[in-house]
Amino acid sequence: MITTRFAPSPTGKLHLGHAYAAKVAYDLANVSGSRFLVRFEDIDHTRVRPEYYGEILKDLEWLGFSWNGEPWRQKDRFNHYEKALEQLKEMGVVYPCYCTRREVEEELTHLVQAPQGPEGPLYPGTCRALKCPPNERDPSWRLDTKAASHIIGDLSFHDTIHGKTSVNPTFLGDVILARKDIGTSYHLAVVVDDAAQEITHVTRGEDLLPSTHVHRILQSLLGLPEPKYLHHKLVTDQLGKRLAKRNDALSIASLRKEGLSANLVKKMAHPDFHTPPRPSSS
């Protein structure tokens, strides 16, 4: 039995990229006895807008998707993420970080060789060895990749498209697992919930491939099962840029209002479908 999920953030309208992500997860679970779940990734209260929960479900329905059970909301599950963080603290694989973004940038400019990740310089580990933390600020909590790698040994993950990949524990560096303002992070919440919802196949855009290294480390540390992965191509606009909120013209709601059929919109929601130029809203 297969269980997949589509995990949108209610921070904007559903666009063709989301529709494709939903389709990949939906189609994979389209065998009898399988389940397709919807989960709202809404931990970041600074970016969530309440009207999008309903609008996203309406768009999914219009596109012809149906899902099993009530969609989960991560904001109802903070106690589970806290528990996982406590577990990691007890294992000694996280440490408090008191740096502001600006301080991290400062620090990086002073380093002769800043650690590099797939998307630029990584956190240089400033707070890893803090003896007496400045207690006037709340800390965020970072993964101690060095301490973790002693515990986890060799890990890998299997991706239907990309094959078997060895986990590189330092790929994303000492990432934040609990932001000081919200107390958790995408990485921690996704790993806890994929296990809690018994997701067998995690499907998502290939932009999140680097994150999977972190997720496998967390699954190993927390004793959670290893799902299979499928990181698909991203839908891009006519300039080859991935879709974002600025592409309002390619939102499902706009296309529906233009009178396009759900079938056509589903066809357009594919990385190989080249959409004709459309006016951008910004």
Binding site for ligand GLU (CB under 6 A): 7-9, 41, 190, 204, 208
| Least separation in angstroms between CB 175 and ligand GLU | 14
In this complex, which beta carbon is closest to ligand GLU, that of residue 41 or of residue 59? 41
Q: 214 is in the binding site of which of Zn ion, ligand GLU, none (Cβ under 5 to 8 A by kind)?
A: none
| Least separation in angstroms between CB 129 and ligand GLU | 32
| Least separation in angstroms between CB 16 and ligand GLU | 13
In this complex, which beta carbon is closest to Zn ion, that of residue 16 or of residue 127? 127
In this complex, which beta carbon is closest to ligand GLU, that of residue 58 or of residue 242? 242
Contacts with Zn ion by CB under 5 A lie at 97, 99, 126-127
Strands 201-205 and 228-232: parallel
| Least separation in angstroms between CB 179 and Zn ion | 13
| Least separation in angstroms between CB 15 and ligand GLU | 11
Packing angle of the helix pair 78-91, 186-196 (nearest 10 deg) = 110
Q: 253 is in the binding site of which of ligand GLU, Zn ion, none (Cβ under 5 to 8 A by kind)?
A: none
Q: 204 is in the binding site of which of Zn ion, ligand GLU, none (Cβ under 5 to 8 A by kind)?
A: ligand GLU
d(CA 28, CA 24): 6
In single-letter form, the type of residue at position 214 comes to: V
Q: 172 is in the binding site of which of ligand GLU, Zn ion, none (Cβ under 5 to 8 A by kind)?
A: none
In this complex, which beta carbon is closest to ligand GLU, that of residue 87 or of residue 197? 197
What secondary structure does DSSP assign to the chain, as a single string? --EEEE---TTS--BHHHHHHHHHHHHHT-STT-EEEEEE----TTT--THHHHHHHHHHHHTT---SSSPEEGGG-HHHHHHHHHHHHHHT-EEEE---HHHHHHHHHH-SS--EETTEEPP--TTTT-SS--TTSPPEEEE-HHHHHHHH-S-EEEETTTEEEE--TTSS-S-EEE-TTTS--HHHHHHHHHHHTT-SEEEEEGGGHHHHHHHHHHHHHHT----EEEEEPPPB-TTSPBP-TT-GGGBHHHHHHTT--HHHHHHHSSTT--PPP-----
In this complex, which beta carbon is closest to ligand GLU, that of residue 143 or of residue 191? 191
Using Cβ positions, the residue closest to ligand GLU within the complex turns out to be: 204
Centre a 10 Å sphere on the Cβ of residue 254 and count the other Cβ atoms it contains: 16
Q: 250 is in the binding site of which of ligand GLU, Zn ion, none (Cβ under 5 to 8 A by kind)?
A: none
Q: 97 is in the binding site of which of Zn ion, ligand GLU, none (Cβ under 5 to 8 A by kind)?
A: Zn ion
In this complex, which beta carbon is closest to ligand GLU, that of residue 9 or of residue 236? 9
In this complex, which beta carbon is closest to Zn ion, that of residue 137 or of residue 241? 137
Q: 127 is in the binding site of which of ligand GLU, Zn ion, none (Cβ under 5 to 8 A by kind)?
A: Zn ion
